Amino acid sequence: MNEESKNEISRRSFFLRISLGLAGISALAAAIPVVSALLAPLLEKKNQQWRTVGKVDDFQTGSTNLVTFTNADPQLYAGTTAKSAAWLRRNDDNQFIAFAANCTHLGCPVRWEKEAHLFMCPCHGGVYYADGTVAGGPPPKPLTRYEVKTFNNEVQIKTAPVSITTINGSKKA
Ligand code: FES
């Protein structure tokens, strides 16, 4: 084997290794979104936490009150963005329901109009009935519901992702 042949084999071997390396990197890059999508439901479940929002007796039967709580997995730098808000209603002595305070259209905070018995969104006129279903305007779906329980005379809300619609119309959890 002459010197020229050896150089040719060495060059081919080099390019083969580079090609295999790039193919491996591409395969890894393509796999990341797939693996993320498969693991997302598991991570969301893991990140849910029960948060105390007050004593049972803090809330009158029939009243709907704004409560705040810390998100499941707040970052150190999050500041006030680590908090979520919910509208909590006491239906009877032991039964509570809670709605996310964010409109399902673009996430603006909705307010409870006691006299009208409606949730109103100030951004684009979204309106929800007292049960969280859409009464009018652009919201594509009902207000997100949180799980609520009472424990040791405290009311607790289970944190959860709030589903809103992004500007291009796709849904985001
Ligand atoms: S964000 Fe509430 S109606 Fe648009």
Q: Is residue 138 within 6 Å of ligand 1 at its C-beta?
A: yes
AA letter at 61: T
Which residue, among 94, 74, 99, has the nearest Cα to 155 in the 3D structure?
Answer: 94
State the distance from the centre of ligand 1 to the C-alpha of 160, rounded, in angstroms.
Answer: 20
Which atom of ligand 1 is the closest one to the Cα of 108?
1
Ligand 1 in reach of 54 Cβ (< 6 A) = no
Q: What is the SS3 assignment for 145?
A: strand
Which segments of the chain have a pLDDT < 50? 172-173
Q: Residue 80 is which amino acid?
A: T
Pocket flag, ligand 1, residue 124 (CB < 6 Å): yes
Tell me, what amino acid is at 83?
A: K
From atom 1 of ligand 1, which residue's Cα is the shortest distance away?
106
Instruction: Say yes or no: CB of residue 88 within 6 Å of ligand 1.
Output: no
Cα 138 to averaged position of ligand 1 atoms, centre (Å): 6
pLDDT one-digit tens code per residue, 102-123: 999 999 999 999 999 999 999 9
Picking from 53, 116, 51, the residue whose alpha carbon sits closest to that of residue 89 is 53
Distance 28 CA to ligand 1 centre (A): 39
Beta bridge partners of 157: 51, 148
* Alpha carbons 161 and 173: distance in angstroms, whole number: 6
* Residue 11 three-state SS: helix
pTM over 0.85: no
Of 99, 104, 106, 166, the one to substitute when testing ligand 1's pocket (max ligand atoms within 8 A of C-beta) is 106
Q: Which of these, 148, 144, 164, lies nearest to 156 by C-alpha position?
A: 148
Helix (H, G, I), strand (E, B) or coil at 74: coil
Q: Is 127 in the pocket of ligand 1 (CB under 6 A)?
A: no
Q: 55 CA distance to ligand 1 centroid (A)? A: 31
